[in-house]
Amino acid sequence: MLHRLTLQGRSCDELRQLASERRALAASKDGNLRALLLNEATLLEFYGELRAWMDRTAMPPSQRAAQAIAATSHRSSAFDLSPILSTFARRMGLSLADQRSLLSISQARNVAKGEMIIEEGGSSVPLLLLCSGVARATRTLEDGSQQIVAVCLPGDILNPGDFVLGRSGISISTLSSALVLSISAPELHLLLQQQPTIVRGLWRETAWRASVQREWLIWLGRKPAEARLAHFLCEVASRSLTSGRETDDFEFPLTQRELGDILGLSTVHVNRVLQQLRNSKLVDLSRGRLIVRDRVGLYQAAEFDPTYLELPER
């Protein structure tokens, strides 16, 4: 009943128009049909965004990303390009031309919640950019316990160091449905030869990630459970803010088990500490939403200083 849309050749406005039609239609339905319609709408919006951005930066629109999206069509997640672009510009310090080149050779791919994106130990892995959704990098130990070593938000590069190391030391999987852009290693290699300035951007992103990891190391080694959790929440809230929204209310699809795997704690203990934070009116965390009630108090409890997340302008 839903015929496949042709995306190519449509103008940005046309695409937005189509998207809002889908949304309107969705409002009158429910269940799976509604979900499908909404998904199509977000895809259309994504393509519209991409198109608009490429027009803005005066480039003949690349069909690659669009094609890939048309192919994987159903099941996508809410989306816009701004987190990725903001990372390109602010954190990696890339020129518009470099941003454009990266996007133009990237393939888009929808990933379902809980799906594995790359396996530990793989070699010649593509560079992966997270457009929407949340992902984690995990190591599983022999006894079955897990440690999450990174949480990626929209705009983050999932594996910034893998390309130079020539392998991935860790598995990455999604915590929500997500849209991922991927650039194959050979193609990236070529691009970096043509535009060597991009190398420095990737280096910067790798270093940024390392400095985030360093903070994790510090609280894992030296802080008690409550401060650990508070610090992690501060980090997530702070990173979410800089990548867009302005509220103190975030989507936060982590279970308590996953929080435990981040903080090196048991699920039970995470639960108790979470209640302490709730009771002291610092944060509220339930049903996949994180609400910061007292930002200053939370920062204090965590000894959180956000400067490590910021980069000086170049």
**Binding-site ranges for DNA (CB under 7 A):** 224-226, 255-257, 260, 264-269, 271-275, 286-287
Place of tokens 């959790």: 229
| 138: its two tokens | 């995990």
Contact criterion met (CB below 8 Å) for 154 and 201:
no
Q: Between 98 and 162, whose beta carbon lies closer to a copy of itself?
A: 162
Question: What is the rounded distance in angstroms from the CA atom of residue 89 to the CA atom of residue 204?
Answer: 11
Q: Between 175 and 191, whose beta carbon lies closer to DNA?
A: 175
Count residues binding a copy of itself (CB under 8 A). Answer: 48
Is 60 a binding residue for a copy of itself by CB under 8 A? The answer is no
> Which residues 157-216 are close enough to bind a copy of itself by CB under 8 A?
160-162, 164-167, 169-170, 192, 196, 199-200, 202-204, 206-211, 213-214, 216
| 241: its two tokens | 């803010």
Nearest to 97 by CA among 108, 106, 88, 87: 88
Is 311 a binding residue for a copy of itself by CB under 8 A? The answer is yes
220 is in the binding site of which of DNA, a copy of itself, none (Cβ under 5 to 8 A by kind)? a copy of itself
Helix (H, G, I), strand (E, B) or coil at 151: strand
Is 222 a binding residue for a copy of itself by CB under 8 A? The answer is yes
Q: Between 78 and 212, whose beta carbon lies closer to a copy of itself?
A: 212
Is 217 a binding residue for a copy of itself by CB under 8 A? The answer is yes
Q: Between 195 and 256, whose beta carbon lies closer to DNA?
A: 256
Contact criterion met (CB below 8 Å) for 175 and 254:
yes
| 190: its two tokens | 């070529």
Nearest to 154 by CA among 82, 213, 69: 82
Q: Between 211 and 267, whose beta carbon lies closer to DNA?
A: 267
Other beta carbons within 10 Å of 237: 23
Helix (H, G, I), strand (E, B) or coil at 5: coil
**Sequence-separated (6 or more) residues with CB below 8 Å from residue 251:** 134, 176, 288, 289, 290
Q: Between 190 and 210, whose beta carbon lies closer to a copy of itself?
A: 210
268 is in the binding site of which of DNA, a copy of itself, none (Cβ under 5 to 8 A by kind)? DNA
Place of tokens 């965590």: 302
Residues that bind a copy of itself (CB under 8 A): 123, 139, 141-142, 145-147, 149, 160-162, 164-167, 169-170, 192, 196, 199-200, 202-204, 206-211, 213-214, 216-218, 220-223, 261-264, 303, 308, 311-312, 314
